[in-house]
Structure 1
Amino acid sequence: MSVRYLLGSWVLILLFCHGSTYLPVVMWHGMGDSCCNPSSLGYIKKLIENEHNGTYVYSIMIGSSVISDTESGFFKNVNDQIDETCRKIKADPLLADGYHAVGFSQGGLFIRGLAQRCPDPPMKNLVSIGGPQQGVFGVPPCPAEGSKLCEYFRKILHTAAYASWIQNTLVQAEFWHDSIDIEDYKRGSVFLADINQENAINESYRSNLQQLEKLVMVMFLQDIIIIPKESAWFGFYAPGQDQKLQTLQESSLYQEDRLGLKIMDRAGRLQFHAVDGQHLHFTDKWFLDTIVGPYFN
């Protein structure tokens, strides 16, 4: 019997005695945010803990500080982030028997990559809130007119997104999905094309995702950050253009069942929710009633 197993068992016994019998929750933040921001994920963490009697909530930190974690949302290869997160989760005895997961914005995509690449300990329910599951093809409005950083991102993504040094440096380029030049996207994407099985089939990705009890996706109907907003439900532009949209069910990803999503959909294990608001704008009541209650038990 391993030391990790014994530690995990004792921790669960202590939690039970303390009063919480809910499965732990792992969270991954979005771009420009951090694991522990008291007005965002720090607040969400307290919401879950209060609702579920002190259940363990682990908010993913990339690197060793809040500063490095925030910077990693822009400038650290996503594949390396997932590898680091997997190591940390495996080393945490509180997560040894499994956990639920929730990702916000790009964190909703990254945590799906974690499910496909890191099946131990097991992820039970995965909730993606405004996560670009098919990537993005469009730069959101700049936060301020004349923002040099925003204009810099815009220029890079439209002209050199698939240059190797950009793919290995700029996080948002790693889920840039050029629907007009599909072959360029498939050749150049170091992250999204891989986890969406665009070039080759990795059977472990498919089987690992099938371990989920439910994959829950939330789209914001007034979203102008995720372009197109339908990416939150695995929808995207039909290949070869950037006007006509396809639903998940119309896509080759679904028709070829490269991730097993058709199987999950037919079994009722894909859950689609819509919020009539802007990107990541939701109330405490909505989060508790729609997400925590049904999926984090």
Structure 2
Amino acid sequence: MPPSRLAVGRGGVPRLLLLLVLGCAGGAYRPVVIIHGLFDSPSDFRHLRAFINESHPGTEVTVLDLFDRGASLRPLWLQVEGFRRALAPIMANAADGVHLLGYSQGGLISRALLATTPDHNVRSFISLAAPQMGQYGDTAYLQWLFPRHMKSNLYRLCYTPLGQGVSICNYWNDPHHRDLYLNSSDFLAPLNDERMHPNASEWKRNLLRIQNLVLIGGPDDGVITPWQSSLFGFYDANETVRDMEEQEVFVRDTFGLRTLLLRGALGGCAVPGVAHTAWHSLRPIFERCIRPWLT
């Protein structure tokens, strides 16, 4: 079946996202591995696990039990290494590959894991409400974590060695202090190849081993700021949201995003009316945005 195109104007869903409806491949379903987000634990994904088991009986579903709750504040490269060790035996036992779903902060961890794992066999990578282009906003999480810092001055902490020891600072992307971000971000800037590093070509090649990249988010998320970061959109210096295809990382194809689009491997859903903590608990979201990719 040919892909259908989602098309909206500036500040909304990136015009180039595709939604492929895939047919059942037959035989056993591939294992699904889930990496949770900030302050989450495996128990938070009981609904999603049930949805998968009901629609695809017999599917092996694993929510990796690492860096739960407060431990999710640990530096992201540390978490990437831990999740890689946990994922390795699951992939080794899945000759036909696995599907990887990363929720919220876990979506960034998942992308970094794929980029730095040369022999992974992930078929569909589903990024569920994840700040793929970073975070810049005074959300409830931020106010709880950093009560003395508003978004306008959090860079003073995040862009220091001390701040880079906290996960949220690893993807804090202040559009008003671009140079500090590029020079100080130990995680997102190199992951996006916005700062030169010797592993860039290898990381891009590794990420492109996936067959599908699925981006899911929506305007009523309430946590991911701007919400279009879930779809690789982000603010410019005037805090105007620029869609994915206007981002330098897309135009220059720094880590493979444009390549994925051109080969028809980029899919997505933008759904209004969904709060951040509800993405993995709503059956309609599963049926529309996740289930078609778990074949």
Query: What TM-score range do you get, normalising by the shorter chain?
Result: 0.7 to 0.9
Match of 1:237 among 235, 238, 243: 235
Structure 1 residues 237 and 98: alpha-carbon distance in aligned structure 2, compared to 1, 3 A threshold: same
What is aligned with 1:31?
A: 38
Structure 2 Cα separation of the partners of residues 136 and 142 of structure 1: 11
What is aligned with 2:4?
A: none
Structure 1 residues 265 and 148: alpha-carbon distance in aligned structure 2, compared to 1, 3 A threshold: closer
**Secondary structure of the corresponding residue to residue 216 of structure 1:** strand
Structure 2 Cα separation of the partners of residues 47 and 104 of structure 1: 16
Structure 2 Cα separation of the partners of residues 148 and 226 of structure 1: 15
Structure 1 residues 199 and 148: alpha-carbon distance in aligned structure 2, compared to 1, 3 A threshold: closer
What is aligned with 2:70?
A: 71
**Gap runs ≥5 in structure 1:** 1-18, 63-67
What is aligned with 2:60?
A: 56
What is aligned with 1:85?
A: 83
Structure 1 Cα separation of the partners of residues 252 and 235 of structure 2: 17
Structure 1 residues 96 and 78: alpha-carbon distance in aligned structure 2, compared to 1, 3 A threshold: farther
The answer as to 2:260 corresponding to 1:264 is yes
What is aligned with 1:285?
A: 284
What is the Cα deviation at residue 56 of structure 1?
0.8
Matches within 5 A, 1:239-258: 241-258=237-254
The answer as to 2:45 corresponding to 1:41 is yes
| RCO higher in structure (CA 8 A, sep ≥6) | 2
Question: Whose helix proportion is higher, 1 or 2?
Answer: 1
The answer as to 2:28 corresponding to 1:21 is yes
Report the identity percentage.
29
What is the Cα deviation at residue 25 of structure 1?
0.6
**Secondary structure of the corresponding residue to residue 276 of structure 1:** coil
Alignment RMSD, CA only?
Answer: 2.2
Encode CA deviations 1:207-241: one digit per residue, 9 max, x unaligned. Answer: 11111111010111112211111101100112xx2
Structure 1 residues 149 and 109: alpha-carbon distance in aligned structure 2, compared to 1, 3 A threshold: closer
**Secondary structure of the corresponding residue to residue 21 of structure 1:** coil
One-letter identity of the residue aligned with 1:85: F
The answer as to 2:161 corresponding to 1:167 is no
**Gap runs ≥5 in structure 2:** 1-25
What is the Cα deviation at residue 163 of structure 1?
0.9
What is aligned with 1:216?
A: 214
What is the Cα deviation at residue 121 of structure 1?
3.1
Moved more, 188-197 or 89-98: 89-98
One-letter identity of the residue aligned with 1:210: L
Encode CA deviations 1:112-146: one digit per residue, 9 max, x unaligned. Answer: 11111124331111111110000011220369xxx
Contact 1:219 1:275 in 2 (8 A): yes
Encode CA deviations 1:259-286: one digit per residue, 9 max, x unaligned. Answer: 1211211222111211112224342133
One-letter identity of the residue aligned with 1:103: G
What is aligned with 2:17?
A: none
**Secondary structure of the corresponding residue to residue 32 of structure 1:** coil
Structure 2 Cα separation of the partners of residues 210 and 70 of structure 1: 31
What is the Cα deviation at residue 94 of structure 1?
3.4
Contact 2:233 2:243 in 1 (8 A): yes
Contact 1:105 1:280 in 2 (8 A): no
What is the Cα deviation at residue 20 of structure 1?
7.1
Structure 1 residues 171 and 46: alpha-carbon distance in aligned structure 2, compared to 1, 3 A threshold: same
Kindly report structure 1 stretches of 4+ aligned residues shifted beyond 3 Å: 92-97, 147-150, 152-156
- Structure showing greater radius of gyration is 1
Contact 2:101 2:127 in 1 (8 A): yes
> Structure 1 length as normaliser, TM-score?
0.82
Contact 1:161 1:173 in 2 (8 A): yes
Figure out how many residues of one structure are paired with residues of the other and give that number: 263
What is aligned with 1:13?
A: none
One-letter identity of the residue aligned with 1:109: L
What is aligned with 2:106?
A: 107
What is the Cα deviation at residue 177 of structure 1?
0.6
What is the Cα deviation at residue 158 of structure 1?
4.2
**Secondary structure of the corresponding residue to residue 138 of structure 2:** coil
Contact 2:31 2:94 in 1 (8 A): yes
Structure 1 residues 243 and 86: alpha-carbon distance in aligned structure 2, compared to 1, 3 A threshold: same
What is the Cα deviation at residue 57 of structure 1?
1.0
